[in-house]
Chain A
Amino acid sequence: MKKSPSNDLIIVLESLRNRREFLKLFAKGFGYSALASALPACGGGGGGGGNPGQSVQTAVIPQASSEYTALKRTSYGVHRDALSAIQNMGIDAYLEEQLDYTQIDDGNLEGTIQTLFPLTRQSPAQLIGGFPDNIATIAQQMTGATQYRQIFSRRQLYEVMVEFWSDHFNIHLLNGLGPTLKPEDDRQVIRTHALGNFRDLLHASAKSPAMLFYLDNFFNLASAPNENYARELMELHTLGVDGGYTETDVKEVARCFTGWSIRFPGDMSGNYGTFVFVPAVHDNNAKVVLQNTISAGGGQSDGEQVLDILATHPSTARFIATKLCRRFINDTPDQASIDAVSAAFTQSGGDIKTTLRALFATDAFRTSADQKFCRPAEYLAGLVRALAPDTPYPTDNGVLFFFAQSIMGQLPHYWPTPDGYPDKQGYWASTGGLLNRWRLSFLSFATVIPPISVFQIDYTTLLGGANTLAKIVDALTSSILMRPLSAADRSHILDWLVDEYGQAENVGLPAGTPELIAPLVAAVLVSSAYFQLR
């Protein structure tokens, strides 16, 4: 774990204070009254009393289609076009296409990233030149690039795995020199190997200057080893806390990694932020790691041998398989799924695509649905993908979304401790977590509220000509939720609209009115459990 970044974070947030005021405007829900006055013949008053005798349906949330569920689990929210594609080609072919991600045409997405978020492409040596004045900009651009890809990339499964490994090998961006180091780690470690081989990923991470700095290994000396990296390497990156290592193993592994360091600012070679092995501070005596002898005099290879021991250890296969099943299936995956995925991991020598194929073939993945509460990143990207499938990129270069994800507590690379953002719904489905999503659901008003019109919602298309309250609910259920409402919930929403607008459900509304009503209906739909389950 690492010290608190709170002071650095404050710097970032302070530098954007004006924007924060602007966010508050939308976060509490804005300007609804202006809208209401534009509506015809508001019923007013409503009539209290409630309806306590109403029966509750037993089928609480009707299951979505299997194609919807497969998409929801492997993407950042169901996009209309992706749903058509998976319906046409079938789930297997779709997932196979997603695994072969380099063959998916992503248009000029990376060119756009280069233009909008150039600092994410820079090396530590380039970034240190503007440090620390560039901290806030780096933070915004790292978030912006991540969100941009999650929303717009057609390589959705790849982006899901990028996030998965970013959490697994978590590095806090705002941690000392971290802002200058993490962008390269993101490119060279995480994005390079996200659908590659686990052993390669592990070796790349171990030599990543961002990781060496974050977990203090840069200062791991033979004279007094620093155990931080050694412990988290086994607990979090490979074996898992119950993976069978001892406190002695922690000390021995720490000794193996003595001398693994980085070149610091002002390095004479001009290679700031690159990996360096310093033989003078390496412990060259023999070590024993998990009953394997590491011979004396191995130098840098000591650590490399440890990584290979760990990468091929059965506990690692089990640990990675469990985490993948937890990500793609549910919080407490069944043993049969874990065993199947673990076996594929071992037999393929840690090939991540082969491992995922095994996971996608499990009964649990194929037959269950609605087992998890999507995390904030999925919620936010999912809002755009559902409400505005054809929108161009936000005109504010992502500033609004930076704050939106900040409020929800899942800014990319901002989790301070090395275990990464939690992947259990008990953490996210809290009172505060739900409230924040409800507030953000009012992004559905982006068409009519100038300060947040950063992406374009086309309600005319989403409504498809619906001109009564009943048709509005049905059309938006189909175009935004893309899964059926229960009869009870359809009634709840419709009764509320009838009450709120003083119009019977099947009465034709004046032209233009459905588009004014739609944002509030959309806010309710994306606030519901329907939209947040996967």
Chain B
Amino acid sequence: MAITSPMKTPASTTLPADRDILVCIFQRGAADGLNALVPWGDVDYYNQRSTIAVPAPGSAGGAIDVDGFFGLHPALAPLKPIYDAGDLALVHATGIPHGSRSHFAAQGLVERGVDDKSGPDTGWLGRHLALSTPASNSAFRIVSISGNVPVSLMGASEPLAISNLGEFGFDQDIIDSGYPAVLTSLYRSPVPFYAPARSALAAMDELQAASISAITPDNGAVYPNNDLGNKLMQAGQLIKSSLPVEVICLDSDGWDHHESLPAYIQQSLTELADAVNAFYTDMGTQMQRITVLVHTEFGRRVAQNASIGTDHGTGGLAYLLGGGVNGGQIVSNWPGLATPNLEMGEDLKITTDLRTVLSELLTKRLGGTDTSQVFPGFAGPTAANVFLS
């Protein structure tokens, strides 16, 4: 007898017209929002951060003015043209009011889209994907560009975890040996780990058929040769391939700047802005059907500490890019940085619940999944005018 070979899945190349491809970038480690989108018009910003503040526009190393009150950190200059083109919106003083200053607890809560532990233990994206009808049965519907599946995708049907597309597979002689086929037999349901195993075997076939390594950056885009640049370049390859990818998750690491924040955030923001700019350029007109979400687990303390850094805080900054974003605006409902206005007397308050933004994203850009099922118990509001419908 022969062993059945891994299933070839017919790939649909387009999503329904009401669904964008979502690229979700999680800034691990609590990214500082105040030195990224600088409230240079708030005098208390300079009082609280006497030696680490970004100078006002016009000074040496000063912020790039956006609206007369906020300005971008100079390292975010590559995002300014995207903002000016109306494809980037920034939501300041945002987050989920979970009250945790633990990275690990807070990342879990934000990825689950809940404000306390009693909420569902699946991820918010996982719930969305479980509720929305798959546009294909491809193994590539949901991809984590990483060695593992993030909490946000828990609850979705078998997301792929691929850290390097170019190395995902076997040489032809191994395939010809029947080794993948016999694994397909050994990892049959309900053998432990059959689901990721079968998914990996199917993905290898699809990836081979897609000739992904032949897909190169378009429109003169140059991805920075660093971790985030490499991940976004692969996200771009997947989107431009025939694979019917719908959600891509990836991490941007290293945002926990307890010490020497000015130097480290310069490096982190440069990596972010260069990589995102390259992705935006590479995608070109396809950005009309792509939404990029960048967010973190919580913002950082308003006042600086003794190590020229900042400790864990509350309100942070989220970035939204894409043709469907109501861009060229800053959503902030600014709470102010004078000590009496701070959360617990120390932190930037959350004035826009991140779930408000995510609800609007689901409604207007991801096919209208029922937000009350994705965010059970969330009282709203469910829109902040951040997206076009």
Q: How far is B146's CA from A428's CA once the two chains are assembled, in angstroms?
A: 11
Cβ B258 vs Cβ A226 within 8 A: yes
- Name B257's contact: one of A3, A407, A426 (CB within 8 Å): A3
Task: List the one stretch of A108-116, A125-133, A454-462, A520-528 in contact with chain B.
Answer: A520-528
A188 close to chain B: CB less than 8 A: no
Give the contact-size bracket for chain A: 35 or more
Tell me how far the C-beta of B31 lies from the nearest C-beta in chain A, rounded to whole angstroms. Answer: 12
Please judge, given known A-B contacts A416-B254, A438-B183, A496-B181, whether A30 and B4 are in contact too, CB under 8 Å. Answer: no
In the complex, what residues of A have CB within 8 A of residue B182's CB?
A: 492-493, 496, 524
Cα distance A435–B207 in the bound complex, in angstroms: 13
Determine whether B135 belongs to the interface, using a CB cutoff of 8 Å to chain A: no
* A50 on the B face (CB < 8 A): yes
Q: How far is the CB of A357 from chain B (nearest CB, A)?
A: 29
Judge whether B187 and A529 touch: CB under 8 Å. yes
B191 touches A529 (CB 8 A): yes
| Measured CA separation A300–B149 after assembly (Å) | 43
CA separation between A518 and B367, bound complex, in Å? 52
Given the complex of chains A and B, what is the CA–CA distance between A32 and B175 in angstroms?
Answer: 10
Give, as a whole number of angstroms, the nearest-CB distance from A91 to chain B.
Answer: 24
Chain A, Cβ-Cβ closest to B139: A431
Q: Are B168 and A499 in contact (CB under 8 A)?
A: no
Shortest Cβ gap from A367 to chain B (Å): 18
Q: Which of B146, B179, B192, B256 contacts A520 (CB 8 A)?
A: B179
CB atoms of A432 and B200 under 8 A apart:
yes
Is A370 interfacial (CB-CB < 8 Å)? yes
Contacts of A430 in B (CB 8 A): 144, 147-149, 161, 196
Selected contact of B199 from candidates A422, A431, A495, A532, CB within 8 Å: A431
Shortest Cβ distance from A336 into chain B, in angstroms? 23
- Cβ A439 vs Cβ B2 within 8 A: no
**Chain B interface, >50% SS class:** loop
**Shortest distance between the CB of B360 and any CB in chain A (Å):** 30
Q: Chain B 66-108, CB within 8 Å of chain A: the 1/0 string?
A: 0000000000000000000000000000000000111111000
A489 close to B (CB within 8 Å): yes
| Chain B residue nearest to A1 in the complex (CB) | B256
Chain B neighbourhood of A500, CB < 8 A:
177-178
Bound form: Cα–Cα A105–B170 in Å: 42
Provide the bound-state CA to CA distance between A225 and B259, in Å: 11
Q: Decide: B2 and A48 in contact? CB cutoff 8 A.
A: yes
* Beta-carbon nearest neighbor of A428 in chain B: B148
- Is there an interface contact between A432 and B2, defined as CB atoms closer than 8 Å? no
**B307 interface residue per 8 A CB criterion:** yes
With A492-B186, A524-B182 in contact, do A499 and B253 touch (Cβ < 8 Å)?
no
A36, A373, A496, most chain B CB atoms within 10 A: A496
Q: For the complex, is A29 an interface residue (Cβ under 8 Å from B)?
A: yes
Q: Are B1 and A432 in contact (CB under 8 A)?
A: no
How many Å lie between the Cα of A495 and that of B103 in the bound state?
51
Is A431 touching B160 in the complex (CB atoms < 8 A)? Answer: yes
Residue B203 at the chain A interface, CB threshold 8 Å? yes
Given A1-B29, A4-B253, CB of A33 within 8 Å of CB of B173: yes
Hey, which chain A residues are within 8 Å of B170, CB to CB? 28-29, 438-439
Expressed in whole angstroms, the minimum distance between the Cβ of B257 and any Cβ of chain A is 7
Q: Known contacts A28-B170, A492-B186, A499-B1; is A3 also within 8 Å of B256 by CB?
A: yes
B238 to chain A, nearest CB (A): 14
B3 adjacent to A60 (CB under 8 Å): no
For A527, the chain B residues whose CB sits under 8 A away are 179, 183, 186
Q: Does A47 contact B (CB under 8 A)?
A: yes
* Stretch in A189-197, A214-222, A271-279, A341-349 with 4+ CB within 8 Å of B: A214-222
Specify which chain B residues have a CB less than 8 angstroms from the CB of A224 in the assembled complex. Answer: 304-306
Q: Using known A-B contacts A51-B1, A435-B204, determine if residue A32 contacts B173 with beta carbons closer than 8 Å.
A: yes
**Within residues 186 to 219 of chain B, which ones have a CB less than 8 A from any CB in chain A?**
186-193, 196-197, 199-200, 203-204
Chain B positions within 8 Å of A434 at CB level = 193, 196-197, 200
Q: Check B4–A51 contact: CB distance below 8 A.
A: yes
B339 at the interface (CB under 8 A from A): no
Enumerate chain B residues within 8 angstroms of A220, measured Cβ to Cβ: 306-307
> A216-B259, A499-B3, A500-B177 are contacts. A432–B101 as well, Cβ < 8 Å?
no
Contacts of B155-190 to chain A: CB distance below 8 A: 158-163, 167-171, 173-174, 176-179, 181-183, 185-190
Neighbouring A residues of B307 by C-beta, 8 Å:
216, 219-220, 226
| B196 in contact with A524 (CB, 8 Å) | no
Instruction: Report the minimum CB–CB distance from B304 to chain A (whole Å).
Output: 7
Kindly state the separation between the CA atoms of A15 and B48 in the bound complex, as whole angstroms: 43
Chain B residue nearest to A523 in the complex (CB): B179
Smallest distance from the beta carbon of B300 to chain A beta carbons, Å? 12
Q: Which residue of A lies closest to B183 (CB)?
A: A527
CB distance from B384 to the nearest CB of A (A): 29
Please indicate the chain A residues that have their CB under 8 angstroms from the CB of B256 in the complex: 1-3, 417
Docked pose: A309 CA to B136 CA in angstroms: 56
**Chain A 221-263 interface 0/1 with B at a Cβ cutoff of 8 Å (1 = within):** 1011111100100011000010000010010000000000000
Report the minimal beta-carbon distance from A442 to chain B, rounded to whole angstroms. Answer: 8
Which residues of chain B have C-beta atoms less than 8 A from A520's C-beta? 177, 179
Residues of A with C-beta under 8 A to B171: 28-30, 32
B104–A431 CB distance below 8 A: no
Return the CB mask of B266-304 against A: 1 if under 8 Å, else 0: 001000000000000000000000000000000000001
- Determine if B311 and A6 form an interchain contact, defined as CB atoms under 8 angstroms apart: no
Known contacts A225-B306, A500-B177; A47/B161 CB under 8 A: no
In this complex, the member of A51, A432, A532 whose beta carbon has the largest number of chain B beta carbons within 10 angstroms is A432
Determine if A268 is an interface residue (Cβ-Cβ < 8 Å).
no
Any chain B CB within 8 A of the CB of A64? no
Given contacts A220-B306, A495-B3, contact A6 B196 (CB under 8 A): no
Closest residue to B151 on the A side, CB-wise?
Answer: A426
* Complex CA distance for A144 and B161, rounded to whole angstroms: 27
**A419 interface contact, C-beta 8 A:** yes
Complex CA–CA separation, A442 to B312 (angstroms) = 46
**Do the beta carbons of A435 and B200 come within 8 Å of each other?**
yes
Do A36 and B173 touch (CB < 8 A)? yes
| Interface contact A32-B174, CB-CB below 8 Å | yes
| Any A CB within 8 A of the CB of B227 | yes
Shortest C-beta distance, B208 to chain A (Å), equals 12
Residue B43 CB within 8 A of the other chain? no
Interface digits, A312-323 against B, CB 8 Å rule (1 contact, 0 not)? 000000000000
Complex Cα distance, B159 from A427, in Å, reads 12
Q: Tell me the complex Cα distance, A431–B187, Å.
A: 12
How far is it, in angstroms, between the C-alpha of A533 and the C-alpha of B187 when the chains are bound? 13
Asked if A409 lies at the interface with its beta carbon under 8 angstroms from chain B, I say yes
**Chain B proximity of A493: nearest CB distance (Å):** 6
Point out the residues of chain B lying under 8 angstroms from A49, CB to CB.
2
Chain A 431-449 interface 0/1 with B at a Cβ cutoff of 8 Å (1 = within): 1111110110010000000
Closest beta carbon of chain B to A29's beta carbon, Å = 4
List of 4 A-B pairs having minimum Cβ-Cβ separation, nearest first: A4-B254, A50-B4, A224-B306, A29-B174
Known: A224-B305, A431-B159. 18 other contacts (CB 8 A): A4-B227, A4-B253, A28-B171, A30-B171, A50-B5, A52-B4, A219-B306, A220-B306, A221-B306, A241-B102, A241-B105, A431-B139, A433-B196, A435-B200, A496-B185, A524-B179, A528-B187, A529-B187
Sampled A-B contacts (27; CB under 8 Å): A1-B29, A28-B170, A29-B179, A32-B171, A36-B173, A36-B177, A51-B4, A216-B259, A220-B306, A417-B29, A426-B149, A430-B144, A430-B147, A431-B159, A431-B162, A434-B193, A438-B170, A492-B3, A495-B1, A496-B3, A496-B185, A520-B177, A523-B179, A524-B183, A528-B187, A529-B191, A533-B192
